[in-house]
Amino acid sequence: FKQEQYPQARQALASLLEDGRNGKYDENAQYLIARSYFSQNQFEEAVRAYQQFIQRFPESGMLPRVYYEIGDAFYNAHRYKQAMDWYRQVIEKFPDDPLVGEAISGLQWAALQQGQVEEAFRIADEYIQAHPDARLSQELLFRRGDFYFGRQQFDQALKAYQTFLERYPGSLLAPKALYWIGLSQLSLGDTSAALNTLQRVARDYPNSAVVADAVFQQAVVLSEKGQPEAARPLLRRLLESESSGRSDPAFLSEVYLRLGQVEVQSGHSSAARSAFQSAISKQPDGFASYQARIELSRLAGREGDLTTALQLLRKVIADRSDQLAAEAQYTLGELYAQSNKLEEAVAAFLRVKYVYSAYPQWVARALYQAGRVYERLSKPAEARKLYREVIDKYPTEPISRQARERLKTL
């Protein structure tokens, strides 16, 4: 069984059950037969084997798990109504079992799969009303905010997190709820309220693990509002391990990246370069480190060091295939254009369209910039063609407006 040789395992387990001695391992044998079918995605066979377990061992202490896994089997077979029936039985028959929380989650997900959002919340509300002081009740109410936030329904998420905080102000989840209230406000465009809320996280819950994230988000907001001098001390505070509470490389790499961007805003190229290099050294293969390479390439380009800039960008392009690679390819075109290598610039920009079509924001910007380079090459017909492509294929991208203006000029 441990070696995932399930047919052979079932044969041996069946022999154990058939020896007629009702041994002490019979319950485990029957359970493992069912579980082996489940592990092979043979959900109908798994359900039959689990039901045989219930018939054979009606007093077993394993029944809560068996009922729950029958629900899981139906869920994975996309038979959500049946899944809900078995999850409900876990809650009704075994109300004190630790699996009740998982059963409620299963009920909610099965309801959501059927488009029954209100039913999913009603299920949670019933449990919360019956067990208002239970830890699970707190988790269920908190998850409602997570559900709405994940669906980008930020106004609903905000209300859900606020309701949680009002109902459970002393919960261990309270600092996290306050943090997500801040992110919801930020997503709704209320930056002033978001800053106040994020500051409250650090002030009201100084020992919480979420403080570092709240401080970082404050720095991000201030930086994006054009206040690098206010953002810098927050980021430096995070880099002091004794006060940050976060020492994982991915987080520190992200902090150094943002610090570098803040230094660029302030015109401090040397400090920015140092911060970007630290972002890379903290986690060389992390997302932030590749973004830092792109930022370093821009610094190198502004200083006339095209060779270094191109090396940094080619590293990103070689290692990644996501939006960072698209941005790196776009930046390659920018650097060629800045260096008056116009044919190379056009080729680099057009490559974004052909290789990174999954990232329309970069494709639209690259096509526009290729059009600008064609103008510099005195090829207005080619430029017009690209501007029209931006307007026709990417009308919702911000760069589309500039493409219209250039087309009128030509």
Q: What CA–CA distance (Å, rounded) separates 119 from 371?
A: 53
pLDDT at 142 over 90: yes
Lowest mean pLDDT among 4-8, 280-284, 312-316: 4-8
Burial per residue of 43-62, b for 16 or more beta-carbon CB atoms within 10 angstroms, e otherwise: bebbbbbbeebeeebeebee
pLDDT at 117 over 90: no
Categorise residue 189: left if φ over 0, alpha if ψ from -120 to 50, beta otherwise. left
Q: How many helices (H) and strands (E) does the chain have?
A: 23, 0
Both structure tokens of 385: 């063609």
User: Which has more pLDDT, 332 or 107?
Assistant: 332
Is the Cα torsion angle 40, 43, 46, 50 positive or negative in sign? positive
pLDDT at res. 171: 94
**What is the pLDDT confidence band of residue 241, given thresholds at 50, 70 and 90?**
low
- For range 281-297, the mean pLDDT: 97
Each as own residue / partner, the long-range contacts of residues 27-30 (CB below 8 Å, 24 or more positions apart, any chain) are: 27/53, 27/57, 27/60, 27/62, 30/56, 30/57
Asked if the domains at 151-220 and 226-295 fall in one CATH topology, the answer is yes
Ranges of each domain in the chain: 151-220, 226-295
pLDDT at res. 7: 85
SS3 state of residue 326: helix
**What is the pLDDT confidence band of residue 284, given thresholds at 50, 70 and 90?**
very high
pLDDT at 243 over 70: no
pLDDT at 159 over 90: yes
- For range 199-210, the mean pLDDT: 93
- Please give the biggest Cα pair distance in the chain: 92
Residue 235 near residue 251 (C-beta atoms within 8 A): no
pLDDT at res. 242: 46
Q: What is the DSSP letter of 77?
A: T
- For range 274-290, the mean pLDDT: 97
User: Which has more pLDDT, 17 or 141?
Assistant: 141
Instruction: Tell me which fold the domain 151-220 belongs to.
Output: 1.25.40
Each as own residue / partner, the long-range contacts of residues 54-58 (CB below 8 Å, 24 or more positions apart, any chain) are: 56/26, 56/30, 57/26, 57/27, 57/30
- For range 271-292, the mean pLDDT: 97
CA 311 to chain centre: 30
SS3 state of residue 171: coil
Residue 47 near residue 38 (C-beta atoms within 8 A): no
Non-local (6+) Cβ contacts of 12 within 8 A are none
Lowest mean pLDDT among 28-42, 344-358, 374-388: 28-42
259 CB neighbour count, 10 Å cutoff: 27
Q: Is CATH 1.10.3470 the right assignment for the domain spanning 226-295?
A: no
Question: How many residues make up the chain in this entry?
Answer: 410
Residue 342 near residue 306 (C-beta atoms within 8 A): no
Q: What CA–CA distance (Å, rounded) separates 113 from 108?
A: 9
Statement: the pTM of the whole predicted model exceeds 0.85:
no
- For range 189-198, the mean pLDDT: 96
